[in-house]
Chain A
């Protein structure tokens, strides 16, 4: 094989000032944003290069939607709203929550493969790797949401939202994705293995989505479950999105959802940054 290297000679007099064509003409913020951009592109490429994952995270919620619409739905009383109109907000939020867990898998995989070490030895913004994965979750969830809502239209979903309300629905959906992804990043950084992170995410999201107003009205639940279900964050987000979609009463759900998402981010982002600096193989 031909091995011909052409590294620059490094004379002693030139130490530390070698011309390595490194662009240093911009400020720190520029490079921080550049680092994030390069790593966002990396994570988005993972979506297109690993279509199985996108397919899985899009098909599974559609199966759930069909299951609830046609199998369980007939037995569930949702008062003034048709069951399919009631259901879509719940399925959507569940899809977002599970989709946002992809960050935990991506982060755990990067650690296992030594890629995190490689990035940590580079002169880049510390948390750019994780930001890349988090932004990729936003893109993936956006695609899954659109496919889910269009499919829902075929099985009788009749939303009443106007353009302004759809914009608010997607804004809330993405904010929710963003806050779950940063929690998922913490799981990915703490996990002992890629397998264990999958279980961690499942145990975190499963109870929150099923013990909620996603699939049935909470007033059908026993009192203890009902107290939990009515006060946990996912229910507020579901109720807010449902209200915007089909015109149920929004009450305080919108504000409470925002407070949950923002305060979760305020806590999880610094924790992630701290763990990322500490975490090594």
Chain B
């Protein structure tokens, strides 16, 4: 049974429960991540994302559940699990007195790479992550983005087959976030299995093969971004007619499947495939009938819509959790 599970899934979780005091953080979580794919665990603050990652990386013990990482039980075989994972947490956990290079070599040695191999890998990662110019400066002089890149590099030094990225871009400026995304996409191409947690829908949408929406300690939906979006409806064109007197005419002319309207607001929604041709067709009709409009937009369902649909509330990107990585004394 165990071999069967691990043949397919790099991460396998069944019935995971975790309670802190009387707060139930995880209430029977089920999840599996296929080898060589990335799963994004998406959810608001307090949904249980970090707790899940901490259990998978052996920092916390589960109350209940069957949890395997690369075929090893996280409780019974914690040490083997540690040999197979790289963890990048929410905080850029680098030694601030040591230089970037020293941090990397130290981490290589702690993964029991040989000294020469640690030095070689450090050099390689400094180059790949664009840290070389700052390699020999203490990391307390690094920018937030560079620290995060080093943090990620530290977790990759021993080529772990499974990588946990716990909110790797929280608190980064947009440019650093894009850089980080580039790095993560490359990790994917190289065949690593990645579990990413994020509260940014855009991030999950852009990077992940599969998205699991976590809320109140349970997975409430799982699928590809497109599958999830499909659950909340298709693309549509949203038109606001200028004059109420034109409204009925417009409605008749545009009549087709999937049309919705609201006369009071002078709104019409037409389902579409989002192609230029479809948009032009609608504009042509309005033009030939000389119907003026106040507004028109093409609306694609976003993961925000998905989250709203599933939970009845919006995902809040709580910026107050942003750490101040530069506030060193």
Contact = CB atoms under 8 A, between A and B. Distances in A.
A114 B323 CA distance: 12
A119 B128 contact: no
Nearest to B88: A118
Q: Give the interface residue-count category, chain B.
A: 35 or more
Interface residues of A, number: 43
Contacts of A252: none
Given A123-B79, A123-B83, A16 B97 contact: no
Nearest to B109: A38
Given A10-B161, A12-B7, A121-B85, A31 B112 contact: yes
Interface stretch (B52-60, B203-211, B259-267, B293-301): B52-60
A280 B93 CA distance: 13
B216 interface: no
B187 interface: yes
Contacts of A22: 83, 111-113, 158
Interface string B80-112: 001111010111111111100010001101111
Contact of A6 (B85, B94, B124, B193): B124
Contact of B96 (A113, A121, A123): A113
Interface string B290-312: 00000000000000000000000
Interface in B20-39: 35-36
B179 interface: yes
A3 interface: yes
Contacts of A6: 124, 128, 190
B87 A10 contact: no
Contacts of A31: 112
B215 to A, nearest CB: 23
A15 B114 contact: no
B135 to A, nearest CB: 15
Nearest to A21: B117
Contacts of A2: 128, 130
Interface string B119-152: 0000010001110000000100000000000000
Max chain A CB contacts within 10 Å: which of B57, B82, B85, B110? B110
A35 interface: yes
Contacts of B58: 120-121
Given A3-B130, A113-B93, A15 B102 contact: no
Contacts of A46: 97
B128 A34 contact: no
B190 A15 contact: no
A170 B134 CA distance: 41
A20 interface: yes
Interface string A269-281: 0000000000011
Contact of A23 (B59, B70, B114): B114
B11 interface: no
A118 B191 contact: no
B183 interface: yes
Interface in A33-69: 34-35, 38-39, 41-42, 45-46, 49-50
B19 interface: no
B120 to A, nearest CB: 9
Contacts of B72: 16
B111 A123 contact: yes
Nearest to B138: A49
Contacts of A75: none
A128 to B, nearest CB: 8
Contacts of B94: 113, 115
Contact of A123 (B82, B161, B190): B82
B78 to A, nearest CB: 9
B106 A42 contact: yes
Contacts of B71: 15-16
A118 B87 contact: yes
29 contacts: A1-B179, A3-B179, A5-B186, A5-B189, A7-B156, A10-B193, A12-B35, A15-B35, A15-B161, A20-B158, A20-B159, A20-B160, A22-B158, A23-B113, A34-B109, A34-B112, A35-B110, A42-B95, A45-B98, A45-B102, A113-B96, A117-B87, A117-B89, A118-B87, A121-B87, A122-B82, A123-B79, A123-B111, A280-B60
Given A10-B193, A18-B161, 10 more contacts: A12-B7, A15-B7, A16-B84, A21-B117, A50-B97, A117-B59, A117-B87, A122-B110, A123-B83, A280-B59
5 closest pairs, A vs B, by CB? A114-B91, A114-B93, A7-B190, A123-B82, A118-B93
